[in-house]
Structure 1
Amino acid sequence: MTLPVDGYQLKGISARAFEHPADRAATAALASIPGLDAVVRKLIELGYERALRIAYLGSSVRLGPAQLPDTWNLHNQVFRTLDLDDVPELYITQVPVANAQTIGAGRPIVVVNSELVRLLRPEERRAVLAHEAAHVLADHVLYFTALQILLRMGASVRLPILAGLPLMAVRQALLEWSRAAEMSCDRAAALVTRDPEAVCRTLMILAAGAEADSLDLAQFMAQAAEYDAPASGLERLSRMMTDLNVTHPMPVRRAQELMAWVRSGEYDRIVGGEYLRRGEEPDARTEANDAANHYADRFRSAFKEAGDAVGSATDQLADWLKKDR
């Protein structure tokens, strides 16, 4: 299998080049939590990451030239396109849910579920593997591994290293960041494959659990537009509350966000070679200020509109009761 365009490579590209604004804000917000990085690294040092790695090593199949070579070749290609020399080990595990993940802060590994390989054609598998490679480039793996550890531990576990840092608060902060990071990596997948529609088609297949031949991308994108249509304050608040306990944004929202970014012209500019390189990133202080403003505006707006909606509903109910009386 060849690259989408022979020799195509995003030389020296920085993850900031395709970073979604929510990802930038969430990452800066995490970095501002006192002691969080120390806790995350301590969790990993204590061996929880090693336990995850051993679990996959013992119960999965490591891919290579003699094990599903087509998928292994795609995996190598996407890392080469992103100009990354160190290619993580790739595993396939028997799980009947189409999904993939990258774990391991020091030495990442990529794990794909068997159902994903069964459902997806090569161009869609390339999109998934490019998405995972972007997690490595963006250094998402440290926080993502910590989130996996906390999700597996459960809310009832208490460790001395977490003293003074509420476990649930850390978990919610990491979930918020995880959802934002996924949208950045969708952009990277579009850049690597040079096919944004393939990324949207992949999201549709993963949401449906059905093969592409049985589905219609145009209908899915219309559904995405419907989901993203203007809503009342209560509906917006309901969507936000629904999102709070999931690691990934809704697939239709991801597709809508990706295509909005493509239409903005940023996708064409980066594919054309105009993008931020590694070492050119802005300072962290500016991004921390942006993060504070982002989340303040987001929550203030959602709750204000919800309050207005509740007030309106209360007025309507009062009018109805008066008329009924």
Structure 2
Amino acid sequence: MKGQMIVLDQYAGGEAAALMVDGKLEDLYLDHDAPRPGAIYRAIADRPVKGQGGMFVKTPDGSAFLRQVKGLSPGQPILVQVTGYAEPGKAIPVTTKILFKSRYAIVTPDAPGINVSRSIKDDDLRDTLQGLAKAAMPEGSNVGLIIRSSCAAADMDEISDDIETMVDLATAIMSEAEGDSAEKLTEGDGPHALAWREWVDPAQIETEDGSFEVTGVADHLAELESAQVPLGAGSSMYIEPTRALTAVDINTGNDMSPAAGLKANLAAAADLPRHCRIRGIGGQITLDLAPMSKKHRRQFENALRTAFRTDTVETALVGWTPLGHFELQRKRDRLPYHEALS
């Protein structure tokens, strides 16, 4: 099927959302009982970590770790927001830089100012959005606003309502900073809310129960049970998470021609961001590439950089190791697929 389709359903006992593009699974959100990224707590400072400039804080969902703290004393209440999923056995990662994200706007408490996405190039539209944002913000408000690129083709009334709703939410939550006990103030967005917030391009939307089966999403999810990802022409890559890192092994199959290694590596580079999204891969990623000449490394790096440029998850291309592997570091903003189903 050509075009985009958003499928909202239940899967493995939890809420789920899938984005299909031209019949291929392009993105996936699965719910879990772990604290969601974006959840906001009034936490209680617990104990500092010497040498790391951080502090453990208490939340209703367990211990969390806050980096780069200054002037924070044990027992002091503080508002924090979950930034990603915790690695097994580790504390929840949180930050004090709280953001309120929605489909059209991002509210930034204690950071006044209105900024329009640079991807919106039309000067008249930028001026219109600036004026709309100012009108929707209450006078004397100490919050800032980022107008997202999704506003380029959106209805102005919807944008205005969205801004007002998020500013009201931010004002209410930020007023809860003081208190004697830890408390969860927001849950963070679930898969269906994330789909509405992040997948803004025109798409067919399926919401009936059993939509994953009818649309073929369930078949694509079944393929994720295998570590092997076909790349065409007999080549493939194996994506195998371990406790320390995710190993990606790229093979040419039976093709032994001089160009086979480069072709397989370029194919893997093009498809790797998609598989990182739908498999929930984060943290350290090590690529064991198919054999290719060192003179082709720059071409591979450029292909990998191009592929990740449009990816929604922050990923750093770290570089080459002495053994000829290529390393990446990716934000853990999703649970690994198998953990999400457990």
Structure with more of its chain in strand, by fraction? 2
> Which structure is richer in relative contact order (CA contacts within 8 A, separation 6 or more)?
1
Q: Which has a greater percent of helix?
A: 1
* Structures share fold, TM-score greater than 0.5: no
TM-score by length of 2: 0.23
